[in-house]
Structure 1
Amino acid sequence: MVARITALVAWVQKTRAARVFTRYSEKNGPILAGGLSLTALYSVFAGIFVGFAVLGLFIESDPALKEAVVSTLSTAVPGLIDTGNGGAIDLNALFASRVLNWSSIVALVALLVTALGWFASARSSVRAVFDLGPDKTFFLLAKLKDLGFVIAFAAVTIASAALSVFSTSALNFLFGLLGIDTRSFFALAVARVIGLLLVLVIDTVVLAALFRVLSDIRIPLNRLIPGSLIGGIALGMLKVLGATIIGGAGKNPLLASFAVILGLLVWFGLICQVILIAGTWIFIDMADHGQDAATLARRSGIVPPPRRLRPRSRPVSGGR
């Protein structure tokens, strides 16, 4: 029995999942994810305020787009928007904000500082997981790249909401042609499945781009896509269970007044852990196929190749 248990433990330790979590712990992944979650929380509040201050009037003018944007945000970050069941941000106050005031300017500065800080910390964390040294990119160039990714992420959020509106309209049109009641169980189930698949595709693409940009190496697609897909599936599971996760933080009566903030901290902590674990999976997958991240970095011109020292020539003695 002891021999069987020992053999089972040895087999489990050799599995990829066990090696991923072992390396994740060795690289202080939980600590890194905890630091990232705090910065993410600050960034999201500032980003929501600035985004609705700039685009709030446009979004509010289209009821379908407004519903899609609120639904997208509520799914991505449960407990952030108060839609009647409690939340950190009142929806009416959010749409009442406008861009031309001092609070919007302060929020914009806070957004830039926290978002760029999150990407800098995430870059260091991902590179630590990939066994890469500090990024030697010029400081201003790195910040410009991070700023571009922040803008791209905001665009993806708006695009996903617009895609949700388009897919809902297309499904309703198709159900109408087929004579299917849009409120039937079948129609609602199909809409739910398609919505989850769209979210999975978007999360996978965003994670793949995130690992590619932060690591700054040419990760092979056959290693990058599977790891990002696993991360996307894990993020989707978290989103499905989002209300349960957020609500669990308020069960302690001593913490009830801080339940929303604590729930959001737990949420962002889990999201950041999923990101780093997915990155660790990609690293282990590369190692299993003989692909070294440092070698790929040197091929990309990021890390200079090690210098080869020429052996010193020994003086030849006279007469020998």
Structure 2
Amino acid sequence: MFRERAPRYGDDVGDGRRSNGRRSAVAPEPGADSADDARRSAAASDLDVDRPDLRERIDDLSQPLRERFDPQIRTVTTITQKTLALFPVRVWRHFLAQNGFILSAGMSYQSLFAVFAGIYVVFAVAGIWLTGSEPAMTAFVALVNTYAPGLIGDENAVISQEALAQIAQASSGVLGWTGVIALAGFIWTAIGFVTYARIGVRSMFGLPKDSRSYVLLKARDLLAALAFGLVLLLATAMSIVTVNFIDWMLQLLDWDFSSRWSTYFIQGGALLVVFAIDTLALAALFRFLSGAAMPWRRMWVGSLLGSAGMSLLQLFSSVVLVFTTSNPLLATFAVFIGLLLWFRVTSIVILVAASWVAVEATDAHESLRLVTPEQLAAERAARERAALITAAEVKVREARDGVEHSGWLRRIAARRRLERAEAELERARATPAPELAGELRPGGPPVAEKAARPLAEKDVGGLP
């Protein structure tokens, strides 16, 4: 009664499906799905065999592009390597590797409060003499503003000259209770600043943790802070003498004191005095306070460069303050923020100068520790022996892995390699270790103790 429809174009007679994916009216035969899956998997396997690997195709497609830009890539790589090999770049990378920004933050925090307390103590003790001598007062204010721009000035400054005069008149040359409290705060903050500076410089030099007595270290830091304060007072006197000498020279030359050149000469003379003081202070910090051993020629280069950087900062101190005080959100304490930023930049300059000294000493194969050439040779031999032992242990581990994963045909050769690696390890361990001096070094543990200390027991971050 019903005739079977003749197959048309697009019909799949074998499995009862149309080519467009819709089912036909004919029901599939039993087992057709499994046969269809088998055919599709076979076709896919044939396609995988015939098609090249995807990675190879990508390499083939990218090879012309790579050849086209290969000269440019080599040029950029060469420029990058040469740039990283430059001495100033290596100095900066060493500064970053030793956590220079974190150390400079601690130095700037301590120095800010030490300056406030020190000024109060100075005017509480010698304020009558300073306020009574206009040249001395002018020189002192100029020197303080050189190291802390905008600290002393008119009513808009952090400390006004009228407030300093009131402190001097209230003390009357006698240190009162407020002066005693300020003196205690000054001593504490000054010791903290010197301590952070010593830690920062020792970290730049790569020196180990200072293992000397805590009381001894704090006493040395206090003496260093007092010496630095005396140097500042001496700088005030030298600044007065320099200004008077320049005035006398200008009088001999019949130059007008109100002219621009006269102002330049006076400012230049004061800047030279400050440059000399900064150089001596950095030299003392690098050579004596840090406990490092270095020749003078190695120390003076970094000290002069650091002093030059600080002098440039003092010349452009107004620019630093302008960028800070121009923010309306910081209007209420803008000068305070500016001083904190100023001390931060100054601390960075000091630590970068120390990094310069450290990299220069490394290039010259000089140690910053107090050791003899024989001790350095013994330490180098100990490091080489440890490296040989480590390499032998790696060979033994690889040989054992080869024995475990090798078949029975290759197991004999793998066992022979393991025996040779174990024998090499025994010879490396049997090599006598060089004798390292165990006496204490200034600013560090015994050399033998340091060489034997495992990595897990070192100080966190490598800070001294």
TM beyond 0.5:
yes
Unaligned stretches of 5+ residues in structure 1 = 310-320
Residue matched to 2:240 = 165
Map of 1:280 onto structure 2: 355
* Equivalent residue in structure 2 for 1:126, among 201, 204, 222: 201
- In structure 2, distance between residues paired with 1:189 and 1:168: 11
| Equivalent residues of 1:126, 1:214 under 8 A apart | no
CA contact (8 A) 1:127 1:214 kept: no
* Partner amino acid, structure 2, of 1:92: E
Residue 203 to residue 307, structure 1, CA distance change in 2 (3 Å) = closer
Question: Match of 1:104?
Answer: 179
Any idea what the Cα deviations from partners look like across 1:204-239, whole Å, max 9, x if unmatched? Answer: 111111122332123211111110111001101111
State the secondary structure of the residue aligned to 1:100. Answer: coil
1:225 has 2:290 as partner: no
Corresponding position: 1:92 with 2:173: no
CA positional deviation for 1:151: 1.3
Corresponding letter in the other structure for 1:8:
I
What is the CA-CA distance between 1:295 and the residue it aligns to? 5.1
Could you give the per-residue CA deviations for residues 232-275 of structure 1, whole angstroms, max 9, x where no partner exists? 01101111111221221122212211211111110111011111
SS in 1 for 2:325: coil
Q: Could you tell me how far apart the structure 2 residues matched to 1:267 and 1:203 are?
A: 16
* CA distance 1:22–1:53, shift in 2 (3 Å): same
Q: Give how far 1:182 is off.
A: 2.7
Q: CA deviation at 1:308?
A: 12
Query: Is 1:8 paired with 2:79?
Result: yes
Which stretch of the first structure deviates more once superposed, 91-100 or 237-246? 91-100
Work out the CA distance in 1 between the residues paired with 2:269 and 2:185. 36
1:196 aligns with 2:271: yes
Residue 20 of structure 1 corresponds to which residue in structure 2? 91
Q: Among residues 100, 118, 132, which one is paired with 1:61 in the alignment?
A: 132
Instruction: Name the counterpart of 1:313.
Output: none
Residue 296 to residue 126, structure 1, CA distance change in 2 (3 Å): farther
> How far apart are residue 31 of structure 1 and its match?
1.0
**For residues 117 and 190 of structure 1, what CA distance do their matches in structure 2 show?**
37
Find the counterpart in structure 2 of residue 312 from structure 1: none
Aligned residue for 1:183? 258
| Distance in 1 (alpha carbons) for counterparts of 2:338 and 2:192 | 22
Q: What TM-score do you get using the length of structure 2 for normalisation? A: 0.63
Equivalent position amino acid for 1:90 in 2? S
Paired amino acid for 2:321? I
Please tell me whether the aligned partners of residues 123 and 215 of structure 1 are also in contact (alpha carbons under 8 angstroms).
yes
- Select 2:341's aligned residue among 243, 248, 266: 266
Computing the radius of gyration over CA atoms, which structure comes out larger, 1 or 2? 2
CA distance in 1: counterparts of 2:82 and 2:323, whole angstroms:
35
Q: Distance in 1 between matches of 2:303 and 2:154?
A: 31
Higher RCO (Cα < 8 Å, 6 or more apart): 1
Secondary structure of the equivalent of 2:332? helix
- TM-score w.r.t. structure 1 length? 0.90
What is the CA–CA distance in structure 1 between the aligned matches of 2:275 and 2:90, rounded to whole Å?
25
Distance in 1 of aligned mates of 2:371 and 2:135: 46
Aligned equivalent of 2:153, options 82, 85, 88: 82
CA apart distance, 1:95: 2.6
Letter in 2 for 1:10: Q
The reply on whether 1:41 has 2:112 as its aligned counterpart is yes
**Matches of residues 237-276 of structure 1 in structure 2 within 5 Å?**
237-276=312-351
Greater mean deviation of Cα atoms: 200-209 or 184-193: 184-193
* Aligned equivalents of 2:146, 2:329: Cα separation in 1: 27
SS of the residue corresponding to residue 137 of structure 1 reads: coil
Q: Give a deviation string over 1:273-306, Cα, whole Å, max 9, x none.
A: 1111111110001111111223559899424332
Amino acid at match of 2:122: G
- For residue 43 of structure 1, report the CA deviation from its aligned partner: 1.0
* Aligned equivalents of 2:147, 2:339: Cα separation in 1: 11
Paired amino acid for 2:109: L
Deviation larger for 215-224 or 171-180: 171-180
Please state if 1:305 is matched with 2:376: no
- Alpha-carbon distance in structure 2 between the residues aligned to 1:48 and 1:238: 22
Q: Report sequence identity in percent.
A: 32
2:184 partner SS: helix
Could you say which residue in structure 2 is the equivalent of 1:316? none
CA RMSD of aligned residues (A): 2.1
Misfit runs of 4+, over 4 Å = 295-300
Contact 1:33 1:269 in 2 (8 A): yes
Displacement of 1:160 after TM fit? 1.0
**AA matched with 1:288:** D
CA contact (8 A) 1:76 1:239 kept: yes
> Tell me, what secondary structure is at the counterpart of 1:67?
helix
Q: Where does the alignment leave 5 or more consecutive residues of structure 2 unmatched?
A: 1-71, 377-439, 452-464
- For residues 140 and 192 of structure 2, the distance between their equivalents in structure 1, rounded to whole angstroms, comes to 26
Aligned counterpart, 1:156: 231
- Give 1:150 shift: 1.3
Structure 1 residues 308 and 268: CA distance shift in structure 2, 3 A: closer
3-state DSSP of counterpart to 1:293? coil
Query: What's the offset of the Cα at 1:128?
Result: 1.3
Asked if the contact 2:293/2:370 (under 8 Å) is kept, the reply is no
Equivalent residues of 2:370, 2:441 under 8 A apart: no
CA deviation profile, 1:13-42 (whole Å, cap 9, x unmatched)? 011111111111111110111122111111
Between 213-222 and 284-293, report the one with greater CA deviation: 213-222
Instruction: Name the CA distance, whole Å, in 2 between partners of 1:209 and 1:184.
Output: 38
